[in-house]
Chains A and B, each alone.
Chain A
Amino acid sequence: MAFVTEEFRVKAEKICAKYPKRDAALIPLLQELQKESGYVAEEAMDELARFLDLPYSRVKAVVTFYTMFNREPAGKYHLQVCRNISCHMAGAPGLLARLRSKLGITEGETTRDGLFTLSAVECLGACGAAPVMQVNDEYFEKLDESKLDALLEDLKHGKYPLKG
C-alpha cells in the first residue's frame, strides 16, 4: 500500500486510540494522509477505507463534504483568501484580483511551477484582522497590496519559514 504504510499504521493506531470507535478517527487520518502528500488521492481513500474497515463511499463522501481536503495535488503554498463579509469590506476582492493577475491563475488553480494554489475561502475566524489570507496552515492578517506583494516575494524565494 502506497499510502497506508507501516509507518502510517503506527501513527494511525495512536490516533484511533483517542476514540471509543475507530472510525471516529477517519477525519484525523485523512488529515494525516493529506499532510504526507498534499492531497487525498483516490487510492489513499481506498486504502484508508480498508484500514478502518469502512465502505469506500463513506470515505469519499467525507472527503467531498469538507473543504479542507484537496482532491488534487495543491501547490507548495496554498493561498486561501477569505472572502466573507468582514474581509470583503476590508478589501478582499482587491487582494484576490491582485493575486489572480500576479499569478496568472484563478481560484481553484495552481501555478504551472507548482508553487501556488489560489483559493477563495469562507470566514477564517479572524475578522478583527481583516483582510486575512491563510497560507497552508498559517494566517496572514491585516493585509494590503504592499504586504501581499512582499509576502509573495518572500514565499517565492523561500524566505518565509512556514510552519507545518
Chain B
Amino acid sequence: MENILLRDKVAELEGYFAAGGYRALKKALAMTPAAVIDEVKKSGLRGRGGAGFPAGLKWSFIPGDAPGPRYLVCNADEGEPGTFKDRELILKNPHALLEGMAIAGHAIGAASGYIYIRGEFAAEAVKLEKAIAAARAKGFLGRNILGTGTDFELHVHRGAGAYICGEETALLESLEGFKGQPRLKPPFPAVKGLFASPTVINNVETLAAVPAIIERGGDWYAAIGNGKSTGTKLFCVSGPVNKPGVYELPLGVTFKELLEKSCGGLQEGKRLKAVIPGGSSTPVLTAEEAWLVKLDYESLAAAGSMLGSGAVIVIDHGQCMVKLLQVLARFYHHESCGQCTPCREGCGWLEKLLNRLESGRGTKKDIDTIVSVAEAMMGRTICPLADAMAMPAISFVKKFRSEFEAHAAGRCCPPDAPVKH
C-alpha cells in the first residue's frame, strides 16, 4: 500500500503543497473542532510514542469551558533506544507534522504550540524552523491562518539531553525551564499541563497522520491495519539485518514480513535469537515468539510484549543477552531522573548486579536478585521509567536464563559470541 507519512518529494513546502499538502488544514478549519475530533476518533489513531492512547479521545479531554490559553505540544524527544522514526519523518515530511499540529490546535482550541525536539537533533530542529517559516509565509501558520481568523503560532524548543523528557509531564517541566522530572498525576495535562493550562501532548508520528485522516476520512484510515490497531506505523528496524531503517507498514504486519520483505532479512551468517519489538523498554521476545507475531498493539500485548514506539531491535545469536541487558541497565540508570526511590535506587542496583554477572563475578543468587529487584520497581513510581527498566530485566532473565546461569558459573558469553568485551 502507499505510504501516508514517509513520502518522497515532500521535504520542502513546494513539493508538499504540490502533493496536496495543507488541503486538510483548509478543510479542518471549515469544520467545527468537535467534528475534527470526531473524525480523528473515528480513525482509531492511537499515540505513536509508545503508550498507544487513542488520540481523538485525548483531545476530547480538554475541558471545553476552560478559560485561558490551551497548548498543543509535539513530543519529538525521540530517545527510546531503537527508535529513530520521528527524526526521519521530520527530515522527509516536516509539513505533515506542521499541518497536523495546526489541525490539532484548531480541534483543541490552542492558539500556540511547541515542538519539543531532543537537543541532539540539531539539523532536524533547523529543518523544522525553516519549515515553520515557510508555512508561516504562506499563511498556514501564525495569525489568521488562511484568512479564517484562527491563530496558531508554533515554536521549536530544543531539549538538552535527558531521556526522561520523552515522558509527557517531564517534557512539560523541561519546556517550562525546569529539570525534567515527571509530575504527579492527577492533575493530567489535559486539565493542567503546560504553564498550568490545558494541554495536549502528541508524538510526531501521531500528529503527522492527522492531515491524511482529515482529508480522506477517519473511516478510510480505520480500514488500514488490524482491528483496533488502525493505520500505518513507522517501524524502526535496527540490528544485524541487511537493510535497517524506517519502514511504514500497516499495523498488524508480521515480524517475518517486516524482516524479510522490507529489511532484506538477516545479515549473512546471522541467526535470529531474540527481538525487542517496541523499543528497549518493552519485554524481549524469543525468535520463536517473534517470528510470526503481528506487529500491532493487541497482538504484541497478547504475546507478552508491547508495540511501544515501533522500534524493532533484532538480536542474533552472536550477542550475549547478559551483556545487552547490562547495556540497557546502564542506560536506565543513567537516565533515571532520581525522583522516586524505587527507580533511583533500583536502576543502579540492577546495573551493578549485571556488572557482576557479566564480568564473571556474579552468583546464581544474583540472577534471582535481578528479578526480585525488578519486580520491586514495577508499578511503584510516578512515571513508567522504572517499569521500562524492569520489563526488559525480567523478560531477559526469564527467557534467556541459561545465559545468565552460564555467566554465574564463570562461562561468559554464549558459544558463538563474537568477542568478549
User: A residues near B, CB below 8 A?
Assistant: 18-21, 23-28, 30-31, 58, 61-62, 65-69, 83-86, 88-90, 93, 122-130, 134, 137-139, 163-164
A125 touches B79 (CB 8 A): yes
Indicate whether B61 reaches chain A with its CB closer than 8 angstroms.
no
Q: Give min CB distance, A139 to chain B, whole Å.
A: 8
Q: How far is the CA of A138 from the CA of B123 in the complex (A)?
A: 8
Report chain B residues within 8 Å CB of A24. Answer: 175-177, 195
A53 CB → nearest B CB, Å: 12
Q: Are B176 and A62 in contact (CB under 8 A)?
A: no
Among listed B49-57, B324-332, B407-415, interface-contacting one: B324-332
Question: What residues of B have a CB within 8 angstroms of the CB of A127 in the complex?
Answer: 81-84, 236, 238, 244, 311, 313
Q: B237 — which chain A residues lie within 8 A by C-beta?
A: 128
Q: How many residues of B contact A (CB 8 A)?
A: 56
Please determine whether A85 and B82 come into contact, CB atoms closer than 8 angstroms: yes
From known contacts A85-B328, A124-B120, A127-B236, infer whether A68 and B161 are also in contact, taking CB-CB under 8 Å. Answer: yes
- Contact yes or no, A68 B160, CB < 8 A: yes
Q: Which residue of A lies closest to B280 (CB)?
A: A85
Chain B residue at smallest Cβ distance from A123: B81
Interchain CA distance A164-B121 in the complex, whole Å: 12
**B180 touching A65 by the CB < 8 A rule?**
yes
Contact with A along B255-268 (1 / 0, CB 8 A): 00000000000000
B80 interface residue, CB < 8 Å from A?
yes
B70 within 8 A of A: no
Report whether A61 and B121 are in contact in the complex, using a CB–CB cutoff of 8 Å: no
- In the bound complex, residues from chain B placing their C-beta under 8 Å from that of A30 are 160
> In the complex, which residue of chain B has the Cβ closest to the Cβ of A130?
B238
For window 188-241 of B, CB contacts with A under 8 Å fall at 195, 236-240
**Nearest B residue to A67, CB-CB:** B161
Question: A138 — which chain B residues lie within 8 A by C-beta?
Answer: 122-123
> Which A residue's beta carbon lies closest to that of B112?
A20
User: Are the C-beta atoms of A83 and B163 separated by less than 8 Å?
Assistant: no
